[in-house]
């Protein structure tokens, strides 16, 4: 699997998560070129899409609650207000967690520090890397 994923690739995968999980590449949309190229190989056609979905979901799972928030917002379309109200977390805290998780999973992979260490360092620097 690709070592580094761009933010654009991660957001694209999240927008098409259900289709990729099902083993299909999404139909190209006129205003959204796929940032991930399809590779012709001798493997079954569903392996590539499933690997992309699995890679992003695995990285988000490492981020715990922050990864959950990323999926809720970018894959399932939940609003910040809805999540804030129902999870009893401020929008500011939610935004910080989402931003930190996205930055973590799009860095050089695999990371040399745990997500907890990364988040602590990120928080200590005022959210700037």
Tell me the pLDDT tens digit for each residue of 3-41: 788 999 999 999 999 999 999 988 776 556 556 655 555
Given pLDDT bands bounded at 50, 70 and 90, which one contains residue 129? very low
- Give the mean pLDDT of 79-93: 94
H-state helical runs in the chain: 7-15, 17-21, 47-62, 65-70, 80-87, 91-105, 115-124
Task: Evaluate if residue 66 carries a pLDDT over 50.
Answer: yes
Domain boundaries, given as residue ranges, for the chain: 7-124
Helix (H, G, I), strand (E, B) or coil at 6: coil
- In this prediction the pTM is 0.80
**Measured CA distances, 52 to 11, 18, 34, 57 (Å):** 12, 11, 12, 9
């Amino acid at each position: 699997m690709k070592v580094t994923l761009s933010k654009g690739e991660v957001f694209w995968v999240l927008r098409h998560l259900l289709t990729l999980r099902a083993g299909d590449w999404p139909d190209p949309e006129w205003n959204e070129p796929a940032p991930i190229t399809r590779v012709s190989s001798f493997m079954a056609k569903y392996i590539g899409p499933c690997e992309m979905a699995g890679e992003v979901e695995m990285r988000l799972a490492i981020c715990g609650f922050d990864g959950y928030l990323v999926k809720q917002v970018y894959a399932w379309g939940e609003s910040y207000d809805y999540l804030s109200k129902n999870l009893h977390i401020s929008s500011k805290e939610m935004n910080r967690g989402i931003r930190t998780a996205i930055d973590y999973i799009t860095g050089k992979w695999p990371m040399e520090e745990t997500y907890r260490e990364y988040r602590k360092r990120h928080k200590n620097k005022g959210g700037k890397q």
